[in-house]
Amino acid sequence: MTILIKNGLIIRDGDSQPFIGDVLTHERQIVAIGPGIEAPPNVHIIDATGLVVMPGAIDPHVHLHYPQGSNRIYTADDFRSGSVAAMLGGTTTILDFIEPQEGETLLTALQTRNNDAQGLSILDYSFHMSVIRTDNLTLSEIPQVVDEGITSFKIYTAYDGIRLTYNELPLALNAIGQARGLAIVHSEDHATIQDRVTKCREEGLVECKYHPECHPIEGEFASNQTVLQIATDIQRRGVPLRFHIVHVSTPQGAELLNTLRSQNLDVSGEVCTQHITLPVDLYTTAEDPSTFVMSPPLRPVEEENKLMVEVEKGIAIQMITSDHAPFTRDQRLGNRRTPNFILGPDGSIQPGPQADPWWNPDNGLPPFYAMPGGGSGIEFRAIVAHTLCVVQRGWNYTQFVNFVSTAAAKRFDLFPQKGTLSIGSDADIAIWDPEAMTRLTLSQTHSMTDQFPYEGFEVKGYPKIVIVGGQILKLECDGPCLSFEPRGRLLKRRPM
């Protein structure tokens, strides 16, 4: 298929100045860009007058078909429904995670996880490999994983069963650095969380409103300080380690990252939509506060505002992610391990697997610390960010494109295949109507969850047309997905 986009405001990437012009795609690639491109024969023409033409957004932090915790409660979206929801929100590339099971090698885990996505995803995708142990076999496999095109490695400093201790962290980081990989770290202090959960359990404080008290700002920042000290010590010894902290939710952590990056140390971070838009008050005011059981938790508005000040410096935190890990209310309350519904290959919503409870209802409702943690955000990440950043805070579109697309493409070794409108780049394009306005509701979401954290948000600016791999998948702001064909490919990356 050949597509010619005419007369749009072209934002090539996060480094380019806007101009009015055209983009020509053929099959999966961009073949021309500039003003006044002549229409070749048999071309589909899109009039983008008054619209913003930008590279498709990239969400480098999603959890699809993810069995969380010892109860193995699966997130509500698999790679079909998750990729469809992402596309309808203007996202055209996703990065998920691999967590090797006990006794499973990293390479075997990669193949197993790819089987979850292959044949379901309508978007191109890649993975971060979790390093949850530091035995010799695991560390020796890291270079092989990089050779297979997976260049980023996830480390948790919290949660038994998947975390590394601070003493184990140098072993993993050194191995990742020697392989020219990127270490990405979930940085919270395990001891702080455990101590506070124990106190809540002993005092019978089991409601969701106590969740943020168990994941305090000071615990996250203390962990940030420790892991960054370890990482930068390794870098100063000459190891080519690249280091990234996921879902930074505190201004103190963001400021520390900015300081170190300003010293030319190779560190970065990301901020999640929920941590700059949703107030901590929702744990006490929301009709269903279990919607917001996620880690890190929501923070006070004044802390979110300070966090945005650090983000807007554009130093170490240049990207926004969703950390999409949705569950249904039934799953939160222990009635099911699997989602209530799934998206069929024809786009129809079908019943999920038979219910398999993980909690005994005779014990009442499960405490917040037993519930699966995570929230929905894959579809509305860029949409909410547009309203917050462009409409409310006056960002220009170059900054916005960098925030939702280009910065992630560069940091995660996808650029210039993704994150830019350049000749030879993939034809993943989002065409936005900057004037479109709507009020977000659960009924609009295409995720398979019945919990929606952005209920009632008034937004301005919406992806109207979405092109993925040279194929038009959406044609109106509130339009449906036009094809559920699983054309998504595993992206094999190389360290930049």
What whole-number distance in Å separates Cα of residue 155 and Cα of residue 133? Answer: 9
**For position 44, what pLDDT does the model report?**
98
Does 463 fall in a domain? no
- pLDDT tens-place string over residues 30-66: 999 999 999 999 999 999 999 999 999 999 999 999 9
Does 2 fall in a domain? no
What b/e readout covers 60-93, taking b as 16+ CB neighbours within 10 angstroms? bbbbbbbbbeebebbbbbbbbbbbbbbbbbbbbb
**For position 286, what pLDDT does the model report?**
97
* Cβ–Cβ < 8 Å for 55, 13: yes
170's enclosing H/E stretch is helix 169-178
- Can you give the residue range of the structural domain that contains 321? 57-384
Which DSSP state fits 290?
Answer: G
**For position 496, what pLDDT does the model report?**
83
| CATH number of the domain to which 176 belongs | 3.20.20.140
Q: What residues contact 219, with CB distance under 8 A and at least 6 apart?
A: 188, 189, 192, 193
Does 18 fall in a domain? no
**Largest separation between any pair of C-alpha atoms in the chain:** 73
**For position 138, what pLDDT does the model report?**
97
Does 85 fall in a domain? yes
Number of domain units in the chain: 1
Backbone torsions φ then ψ of 386, nearest 5 degrees = -60, -45
Question: What is the pairing mode between strands 73-74 and 429-439?
Answer: unpaired
Does 103 fall in a domain? yes
Does 395 fall in a domain? no
Kindly give the interhelix angle for 169-178 and 217-236, rounded to the nearest 10 degrees.
50
What whole-number distance in Å separates Cα of residue 126 and Cα of residue 60? Answer: 9
Q: What residues are paired with 54 via a beta bridge? A: 430
**For position 238, what pLDDT does the model report?**
97
| pLDDT in single tens digits along all 496 residues of the chain | 999 999 999 999 999 999 999 999 999 999 999 999 999 999 999 999 999 999 999 999 999 999 999 999 999 999 999 999 999 999 999 999 999 998 999 999 999 999 999 999 999 999 999 999 999 999 999 999 999 999 999 999 999 999 999 999 999 999 999 999 999 999 999 999 999 999 999 999 999 999 999 999 999 999 999 999 999 999 999 999 999 999 999 999 999 999 999 999 999 999 999 999 999 999 999 999 999 999 999 999 999 999 999 999 999 999 999 999 999 999 999 999 999 999 999 999 999 999 999 999 999 999 999 999 999 999 999 999 999 999 999 999 999 999 999 999 999 999 999 999 999 999 999 999 999 999 999 999 999 999 999 999 999 999 999 999 999 999 999 999 999 999 999 999 999 8
- pLDDT tens-place string over residues 189-239: 999 999 999 999 999 999 999 999 999 999 999 999 999 999 999 999 999
Does 84 fall in a domain? yes
* Cβ–Cβ < 8 Å for 124, 103: no
pTM, full prediction: 0.98
Backbone torsions φ then ψ of 78, nearest 5 degrees = -95, -170
